[in-house]
Amino acid sequence: MDDTDSAILTHLQRDARLTNRELARRVGIAPSTCLERVRALRARGVITGYHAAVQPRLLGRSLQALVFARLRPLSREVIHDFESYLTRLPEVVSVFVVSGDDDFLVHVAVPDIEHLHAFLMDRFSARREVVSFRSSVIYRQTETRVLTPMETGMETGTETGRAGRADRFDRAGDAG
């Protein structure tokens, strides 16, 4: 990942409908180079898809909430089955398997408080692996639409960077 790849990602995250020619112009590279880099980013799994952002309120989903759930018995199979169940529900926006007191964090969008209550009573409490759940209504949501690579403080992708890391680890190991 270099500065050109980062610039491509930034522009595509802001507007995935840019033509290749316009994207190349904004990044300052040839269209053929731009196309090759976008294909490489997709092949490496950095770009996972393109989507249209929608306003839930305009789709009849005025109320959003976060639902925290604890499951028992806790096993890979129980987690996988519950996650699969949740992703099939039309009210569910996102599912997170998390650490801490709760096992799941579920983002839901529903028409109103009555629908949220029905969702919790009919969908969550109906599952016998759910031992407890709680919900928090979302008043306002702000998203970061553009993610950029994080700096790790170490060189990457070069032989010098790899050797440099190995030397640092060897020295750290010798000191211990």
Q: Is the pLDDT of residue 147 over 60?
A: yes
Domains of the chain: 1-53 (1.10.10.10), 56-138 (3.30.70.920)
Percent of the chain residues past pLDDT 90, beyond the cut: 75
Question: What are 52-91's pLDDT values in tens digits?
Answer: 889 999 999 999 999 999 999 999 999 999 999 999 999 9
pLDDT band at 123 (very low <50, low <70, confident <90, very high): very high
The residue ranking higher by pLDDT, 75 or 170, is 75
Q: With b meaning 16 or more CB within 10 Å and e meaning fewer, what string describes 59-92?
A: eebebbbbbbbebeeeeeeeeeebeeebeeeebb
- For the residues 122-148, what does the mean pLDDT come to? 92
Across the range 13-29, mean pLDDT stands at: 96
